[in-house]
Amino acid sequence: MSIETESRKYARQAMEGDKKPSYYEAEKQLRRGLIWQVMEECRYTQAEAAKALGINRASLRSWIGQVFTNEEIKNMGIES
């Protein structure tokens, strides 16, 4: 999953049908892609991922909780 792929996918989906693009949803998808990509590169080590993103670990955990389902979080090996 790449940030660009997720952003393009969201934009395509938002433009189809009667649904108008939502900035909030676009931001959520962008954040989701960014976190996923950084977490993969940091081998799902939250401290390393937070440092790479320039945020603290608590903020990263908050972001993760906002953009991923509980099942996805579990599959990443992140404990709640």
Residue 25: Cβ within 10 Å count: 13
**At the topology level of CATH, where does 3-74 sit?**
Arc Repressor Mutant, subunit A (1.10.10)
Task: Give the length of the chain.
Answer: 80
Tokens, residue 21? 């693009």
Tens-digit pLDDT profile for residues 26-71:
788 889 889 999 999 999 999 999 999 999 999 999 999 999 999 9
pTM of the model: 0.73
Q: Where are the domains of the chain?
A: 3-74
End-to-end C-alpha distance for the chain, whole angstroms:
23
66 versus 11: which is more confidently predicted?
66
Q: How far apart are CA 60 and CA 50, in angstroms?
A: 6
